[in-house]
Every structure is written in structure tokens, then in C-alpha cells.
Amino acid sequence: MLFLFTHKFNTSPLLLKTKHLNTYIWYDNMLYIVIVKNLLLIVVVAFPIFLNAQNRVELENIAGVEIYLFKNLCLNNNSYNDMNFREREKFISEYKKVEEIPVVFCPEYINSNLCELDDKPYLNKNDIKSFNWNTKTLILTEYGKAKVNRLKYNYHGIPFTLKIKGEKIFNGWFWYYSSSAACSRVYCTIMPDSDVINFKFRNDKYSCGPNPFNDKNTIDKLLSLKD
């Protein structure tokens, strides 16, 4: 019995060693694969975060910002607000989300091809201290603050285009701060004697069309124009 026991377990030490070695190699390979997969996962997750953080830093203080007004009110003749109540409700119900509504039907959509800009900017480098794309905040000089306070509002607001180094970035509306009407696109409400302009997009049921602040082409253009 002792012989049989010894024969069964000890007659092939090389085979046992080889099996153990193969087992170690298998475990090492699996560990290597797991480590590589985890590293790749970290890179895939972390790189966009790093890139986004880098972009945010680069877009904190943008030079060359100007704001142009239009020569006319530039109202949208294709607005769904021109439909009767039933037509408008039926039209909006066809879209699951308000951001899916084609922008050409939005009440405050500005068609830059049909609306003519003033020849000179209303706010230029002498009126603007800084512009931070990350917070959508523009800081005015005393000259700029005085100009903004002189704007004559109406029910529809005042349309404008923001440009950087001559390139159009987005359209929007100066909106009277005490207005009860909602703006469906980009707007800013300026308190009296304030030197801060905050550009906003509602992202609620009163908004219409995609948020231009999330447009990748716009962000790429900003990065290419950054000093």
C-alpha cells in the first residue's frame, strides 16, 4: 500500500512541476490581461475628462469678442407660435423632447442669412473686459455697461450676434429683466447698472431646438480662435 501510494503521487515529479508551472503561467497571463484591460479602461474614461478639463482652461478668457446688433427686429416668420393653439400643440407633440424640434420653427430663431447686421459692433474691445465660455459670462467695462443700459427693449427683446475675431459664434437676445415672456433660444437678462452678462439657454419646456452651447463644431471653432 505504501508503494502504491508513493507510486501514485511521487513517481512523476517532473510532470507535477510542469503542471504547476503551466498553472502559474496561466495565472500570470490572466493577471496580465486583467491589468491591461483595467489600464485601457482607465485611459478610455480618463482621457475625455482630461481633454474636457484642458478645453475648459483654454476657454476661460477669450479675446476678440464683439457683439453686433441687427438692423431690424429679425422675427421668425416660420415660428410655431404663428400656428393656432391646436396646430401648435399637435406640432410640438410630434417630438419627444423640445430639443428635437427643428430650430427653424423656434419662436426666437434668428436666420443670419435673412437678417442684416449693423456695420459696426455695438460692444467692442473697449466695452468688454473678458469672456468666459465655460460660464457663458461676459464682463463689461464702464463704457460697455453704459451702452447696455441705453438699450431700448420691446416685447420681443433685442437680437444680437456674438462674434470672436470676426467669426460668428452664436445668436441670442437681450431680454428685458422684468419680462414675463420666455425666450426659447439663447438670451441674457441684464440688471440695471450691472457689468455682467450671463448668456443662458433654458433647457426646459420653454426652450426650443438643440442647445448651441453643446455644439461640438462651435467648441472646435472657439479652440481654433483661442490665442
pTM of the model: 0.73
Is the C-alpha dihedral spanning 114, 102, 222, 134 positive or negative? positive
Q: Give the start-to-end residue ranges of the domains of the chain.
A: 2-58, 65-225
Q: How far apart are the C-alpha atoms of 38 and 24, rounded to whole Å?
A: 21
Strand order in the sheet with 196-198: 128-132, 137-140, 196-198
Judge whether 108 and 185 are in contact, CB under 8 Å.
yes
Q: Give the helix ranges, DSSP H, for 73-178.
A: 85-93, 142-149
Question: Cell for 49?
Answer: 475628462
Task: State the residue for C-alpha cell 475675431.
Answer: 165
pLDDT of residue 8: 47
Q: Give the helix ranges, DSSP H, for 59-116.
A: 85-93
pLDDT of residue 163: 96
Q: How far apart are the C-alpha atoms of 181 and 155, rounded to whole Å?
A: 8
Question: Cell for 111?
Answer: 436666420
pLDDT of residue 29: 66
pLDDT averaged per 10 residues, the chain (length 227): 44 52 60 64 46 54 93 92 94 94 96 93 96 95 94 86 95 89 92 92 91 93 82
pLDDT tens for 56-77 read: 447 888 889 999 999 998 999 9
pLDDT of residue 180: 82
